[in-house]
A and B are shown apart, each in its own frame.
Chain A
């Protein structure tokens, strides 16, 4: 029995929500298998697990978006079926906030908090009451926000606070926070954590989902670890070691997952000096060499994606210079960047990486369509098929999947298609933005292996990732960004704690 756990009887007595044997599958894929869990009043439960472990599915079941195939949900000891988010909210008092706040940009703060439930008097919206109540909720949270501000004028952090206010105003007894800190600065995170703790103290039960183990340690009382859809362990946070937690999450020695680190570094492929985009990143300088994997660590929101997209020609650059193989490079557009030998694997696969209405071959060759174009613009389909077959082999995509619309592929397979696209383009610099985000555990090592191989062939790889273990294991050298600036560079396998420190706040001198 894990140390520090209460007796079963004690647990059940206080439980607001209890899950017993919850299973859920999607056409043969088991997202959750026999998961049992209970949540008590006045506690913060951390939910840990790799991408694909089932956390997201569990949240959907708790919030009534999905129904379990097996198992029961008990609210205050009584079996319940949560048909819809509304039922979960109103009957069970369960709400959730997500990484990207679901707000109504054109409406103001107060309306967002009470969306669909504005107070009315004789059928007419009682505006003064609305604003007053909104102010009250914000006051309870200790947050100062002008309730008349249209939400599209707010930054993400404030939008998140609005989301939480919304949950509180509904009288949530259970609040699920799904990766809330991904888009927040450290100061905003402090505010959020203070708020969350005070909510706990007032009796709300909270589930906190995050990849960042230091936050989990900081905030939670208890931790439940999911792996491959099953609940594998539970620990009292204070008694648990980060290393132990990681092992439980991953299920094997961390190093198993990762390919051997790329070590050789040839000549310089890209040099960036003083790159700035006002409001997003400032004075970024670094070099990238052939055959190396330059990790870019940092919390999401540090400006890494913005940096990548600026290099790729998507967004404008206000100041600074970029050099590719000693030639000055001014990115004008993605098309231009590709022609100059850059490639970018975007964070948002579905929206930015693939055209869902097309099948694998067209997606996989999209960056090199010009090479497949003949006389009078004729598109050489047979050549495309041939190249696709080669690419598919290189990324280890099952041949049977080729004829599918990429919108119907799994996350891992989709990512393989995107990788194939960039393999085809034969870039000299490949920028990967969270390449293993949302990919099931089985496929991740394959993707990482392909990346390492790519580096071996002489491509300079920028590896942006928020998963510390991953970026540490993969990188030849490591950059750490925070709030738009490069705060640390490490030239050799780096100490995890120092990287964490740099990413989250304590200044570390740029080292060798």
Chain B
């Protein structure tokens, strides 16, 4: 038995590692923003405002959590808005027609519909081998077109919704809105899945280094399908919430929503290169986004300026995370390679960031 000491990083203990996690910084930022806003803007700290922020963000959180999973697997799903809209109409009218359908049935229907649509995405990406950006662009077109077809030019009206659905937004459980419960549940469940199941760890591995994952027998096929199914299911659930919130659902429901969702994830530290970030981060990102919106509205900054600032926030967030990750990443003491990585869903191609490529697998 030898006792050799490797040249190692004397890694700091668990506390300091936790501090260095993105989510911690984000949480601190969120707390900071909340406190500052609450202190300086009287309108901010009213309970109605707080509750509105949380209710608004719940919808985004539910879908963003699913999108985060997909992005962590180094993919992307641009069709979540359309899935949401389709689900809002279809499930909304379905439960309206089926008299006995209670919340449970409704939620299940929404999840199943969303999952089915998500699996279709997976089929295109895994089976037809389309890059995720293109595949979900195509399904975005198809699903939103379907929205038009199923609504037959009319819309779903609030009175057609069953009572439980119509009032879901306003109901409270133990004093906290149902929406918030749902969002919290989603965050908890998905976070648990991602952190505590082999499924979740495989998703991270897949996003971090797809080649190595494949080599080790982690089924990229299965995990990709599952990631998109989860994302779709949550988008479907979001659709149900949408129906409850807005009452009237027409063919344009959910249009553009995917961008808000991706923005939340990006601000929440989910890296578009895959392998890092968390559902919790996406949730925090969503809350931050809505707090900013609320604060800006209270500052009487025109709603138009808000949009500008939110766009700027995304760019700033990405820049900050990029800077942080470059600082933290130790240059491998000897060589380090930068390679072309076609798998990145973000850029058109010619990737720039490093994930060491196994060049020894070149046949000689």
Contact = CB atoms under 8 A, between A and B. Distances in A.
A102 B211 contact: yes
Given A31-B363, A153-B328, A411-B364, A115 B5 contact: no
Interface of B is mostly: loop
A146 B212 contact: no
A142 B358 contact: no
A100 B360 contact: yes
B188 to A, nearest CB: 14
A156 B333 contact: yes
Given A85-B217, A104-B204, A142 B3 contact: yes
B7 interface: yes
Interface stretch (A39-47, A51-59, A268-276): A51-59
B330 A155 contact: yes
Contacts of B202: 116
Interface in B208-228: 208-209, 211-213, 215-218
A105 interface: yes
Interface stretch (A119-127, A316-324, A385-393): A119-127
Given A153-B328, A198-B2, A183 B216 contact: no
A142 B209 contact: no
Interface in B185-236: 195-198, 200-202, 204-205, 207-209, 211-213, 215-218
Contact of B201 (A111, A123, A161, A305): A111
A116 B208 contact: no
A438 B275 CA distance: 31
Contacts of A143: 4-6, 8
Nearest to B362: A438
A105 B355 contact: yes
Interface stretch (A186-194, A237-245, A395-403): A186-194
A100 B212 CA distance: 11
Contact of A124 (B1, B196, B211): B196
A348 B198 CA distance: 35
Nearest to A194: B2
A378 interface: no
A116 B217 contact: yes
- Residue of B3, B200, B328, B361 with most chain A CB atoms under a 10 A cut-off: B361
A103 B209 contact: yes
A157 interface: yes
Interface in A174-222: 178-179, 183-185, 187-188, 190-191, 194-195, 198
B356 interface: yes
B334 A155 contact: yes
Interface string A129-158: 000000000000011111011001111111
Nearest to B336: A156
A251 B183 CA distance: 70
Contacts of B330: 152-155
Contact of A107 (B9, B197, B208, B333): B208
A142 to B, nearest CB: 4
B174 interface: no
A429 to B, nearest CB: 22
Contacts of B276: 106
A158 B5 CA distance: 11
Interface string A256-268: 0000000000000
Nearest to B349: A357
B337 interface: yes
Nearest to A124: B196
A34 interface: no
A141 to B, nearest CB: 8
A86 B334 CA distance: 30
Contacts of A118: 198, 201
B2 A142 contact: yes
B14 A148 contact: yes
A283 interface: no
B339 interface: yes
Contacts of A36: none
Contacts of B348: none
Contacts of B47: none
Nearest to B328: A153
B212 A104 contact: yes
A373 B109 CA distance: 62
Contacts of B328: 152-153
Interface string B161-201: 00000000000000000000000000000000001111011
B348 to A, nearest CB: 13
A101 interface: yes
Contacts of B215: 85, 102
A279 B333 contact: yes
A389 to B, nearest CB: 29
A156 B335 contact: yes
Contact of B275 (A57, A104, A158): A104
B52 interface: no
B4 A26 contact: no
Given A104-B209, A116-B202, A124-B196, A144 B6 contact: yes
A106 B216 contact: no
Given A102-B209, A111-B201, A191 B6 contact: yes
Nearest to B211: A102
Contact of B357 (A146, A158, A351): A351
Contacts of A351: 337-340, 357
A26 B213 CA distance: 26
A188 B7 contact: yes
B1 A142 contact: yes
Contacts of B5: 143-144, 191
Given A116-B205, A116-B217, A123-B197, A148 B360 contact: no
A300 interface: yes
A37 B363 CA distance: 20
22 contacts: A53-B364, A57-B363, A60-B363, A86-B216, A100-B337, A106-B208, A106-B275, A106-B276, A107-B208, A115-B205, A116-B198, A116-B205, A145-B6, A149-B11, A155-B333, A158-B6, A158-B7, A158-B8, A183-B335, A279-B331, A300-B335, A351-B340
Interface of B: 1-11, 14, 17, 195-198, 200-202, 204-205, 207-209, 211-213, 215-218, 275-276, 328-335, 337-340, 355-364
Given A111-B201, A142-B4, A179-B360, 5 more contacts: A115-B218, A125-B197, A144-B8, A155-B7, A155-B333
